[in-house]
Amino acid sequence: MRSRAALAALPGVLALAAAHAEVDPQLCFACHGPNGNSVNAAVPALAGQPAQFIGTQLIMFREKRRTDPQMSPVAAPLTNPEILALGKFFAAQQRAAPAQKPSEAVIAAGRKLAEDYNCVVCHGPALHGQQHIPRLAGQQKEYLRTQLRGFKAGTRFDMDGNMTSAAQRLQPADIDVLADYISGLE
Ligand code: HEC
Ligand code: HEC
């Protein structure tokens, strides 16, 4: 009975979802910063992220594959059309210039690690991301460090396993250099 009623209601629900496919992105600015340019070390910037990456991560949070005490409740009620619209919005925002520049020594060491460990192969030559692969350039340093440690430890969910394997060879010192280097990139 219940499923038949739900099915009968489906066209109406879909029309409603399409009509209300906008969540005000201002809701996200409270944590992710103005236009998705985070000023909080623990919260990732969203500005200039590929729309597909934002969409897949929101679905991962909604489906409880990825969990966070702050982010999970925000993602829980989002519909697919709302997720699509949010991805489009943040992908179109300009990423702010990085707050600080690392030393020449860190830049040289970081660039070498990013090439030796193939970060540039998946995340793109300028680490600007593509499709479901995130932009890393100019991301919050602490956030990058936490995520890399999480992938290495197997605690950050990874859709296809690629990033978890990429992180296995990284030593703790490599992670520090990479986080310093990448957060300073435009
Ligand atoms: C109460 C604070 C808060 C609000 C409001 C919030 N977020 Fe988040 N969001 C976070 C935190 C914290 C993380 C990082 C979670 C982690 O460390 O795994 C995050 C992570 C994300 C990620 C993953 C990004 C990445 O680089 O992996 C996306 C996408 C995202 N949020 C989108 C949104 C959108 C869209 C909104 C508005 C509808 C929003 N968030 C509102 C706190 C918030
Ligand atoms: C084989 C492809 C591949 C390689 C090589 C790779 N990555 Fe990734 N990376 C991904 C994918 C795909 C994701 C998204 C994972 C997910 O959440 O499902 C990701 C996610 C990340 C994230 C999380 C960012 C965020 O905003 O949540 C960081 C940080 C990261 N990669 C850094 C690196 C670094 C540094 C290297 C080199 C040491 C690297 N990656 C090499 C594919 C790759």
Ligand nearest to the CA of 185: 2
Q: State residue 79's pLDDT score.
A: 97
Distance (Å, whole) CA 74 – CA 57: 12
182: which 2 tokens? 């990448």
Residue 38 lies in a domain: yes
Q: State residue 16's pLDDT score.
A: 47
Q: Are 7 and 68 in the same domain?
A: yes
168 lines ligand 1 (CB under 6 A): no
Single residue among 45, 66, 91 that ends a domain in this structure: 91
C-alpha torsion sign, points 59, 64, 68, 70: positive
Q: State residue 3's pLDDT score.
A: 45
Q: Splitting the chain (186 residues) into consecutive groups of 10 residues, what average pLDDT does each group show?
A: 47 48 92 97 97 98 97 98 97 95 97 98 98 98 98 95 97 98 98
Q: State residue 20's pLDDT score.
A: 58
Q: Are 9 and 79 in the same domain?
A: yes
Distance (Å, whole) CA 68 – CA 124: 27
Distance (Å, whole) CA 67 – CA 108: 35
pTM assigned to the model: 0.92
Residue 116 lies in a domain: yes
96 lines ligand 1 (CB under 6 A): no
Q: How many angstroms separate the alpha carbon of residue 127 from the centre of ligand 2?
A: 10
Closest ligand 1 atom number to CA of residue 45 = 26
Assign residue 110 the CATH number of its domain.
1.10.760.10
Distance (Å, whole) CA 107 – CA 120: 15
Q: Give me the number of domains the chain comprises.
A: 2
68 lines ligand 1 (CB under 6 A): yes
Q: State residue 69's pLDDT score.
A: 97
Distance (Å, whole) CA 181 – CA 104: 10
Instruction: Check if the beta carbon of residue 109 is closer than 8 Å to that of residue 174.
Output: no
Closest ligand 1 atom number to CA of residue 70 = 1
Q: How many angstroms separate the alpha carbon of residue 43 from the centre of ligand 1?
A: 7
Can you give the residue range of the structural domain that contains 87?
2-91
Residue with the nearest Cα to atom 16 of ligand 2? 158
Residue 175 lies in a domain: yes
Single residue among 63, 91, 119 that ends a domain in this structure: 91
Q: Are 79 and 134 in the same domain?
A: no
Residue with the nearest Cα to atom 10 of ligand 1? 71
Distance (Å, whole) CA 115 – CA 178: 11
Q: Which of 60, 74, 86 to mutate to test the pocket of ligand 1 (most atoms within 8 A of CB)?
A: 74
Distance (Å, whole) CA 83 – CA 51: 9
Q: How many angstroms separate the alpha carbon of residue 165 from the centre of ligand 2?
A: 10
User: Which ranges of the chain does DSSP label H, i.e. alpha helix?
Assistant: 2-19, 26-32, 51-62, 71-75, 80-91, 104-116, 119-123, 141-153, 162-168, 172-183
